[in-house]
């Protein structure tokens, strides 16, 4: 697991959250959503975090993509828009 730790008071951008990789540790998550560690762990205990945590041993981790979605960040598709087959003209006939 990455050892990502947020600096206190850091202002997060969508790009910075994406750069965390697939998951983030609990303290980084708390920083991203804008709550203190104390409040964040209380939210976990109460089952009230905005996204679902995963317990790995004695650590909590959060998937990055659901956090981005909760924050309202819409990622562009990684593939070009596909044209429906009905809109593709037939190839010219060979003479």
For residue 4, the number of C-alpha atoms closer than 13 Å in the C-beta half-sphere is 24
Q: Spell out where the chain has E strands.
A: 23-25, 53-56, 59-63
Tokens in use for 55?
């317990």
Domain ranges of the chain: 14-74
pLDDT tens per residue, range 50-92: 999 999 999 999 999 999 999 998 766 554 555 455 555 666 7
* CATH number assigned to the domain with residue range 14-74, chosen from the 4 options 1.10.20, 1.20.120, 1.10.287, 1.10.10: 1.10.10
* Total residue count of the chain as it appears in this document: 95
**So what's the pLDDT on residue 79?**
47
Closest CA relative to residue 73, chosen from 6, 4, 17: 17
pLDDT tens per residue, range 12-53: 999 999 999 999 999 999 999 999 999 999 999 999 999 999
Mean residue pLDDT across the chain: 83
CA atoms of 87 and 4, how far apart (whole Å): 47
């Amino acid at each position: 697991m990455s050892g990502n730790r947020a600096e206190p008071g850091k202002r997060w951008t969508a790009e910075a959250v994406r750069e965390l990789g697939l998951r983030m540790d609990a303290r980084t998550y708390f920083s991203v959503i804008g709550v203190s560690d104390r409040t964040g762990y209380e939210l976990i205990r109460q089952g009230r975090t905005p996204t679902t945590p995963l317990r790995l041993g004695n650590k909590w981790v959060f998937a990055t993509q659901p956090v981005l979605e909760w924050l309202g960040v819409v990622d562009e598709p990684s593939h070009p828009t596909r044209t429906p087959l009905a809109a593709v003209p037939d190839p010219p006939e060979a003479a």
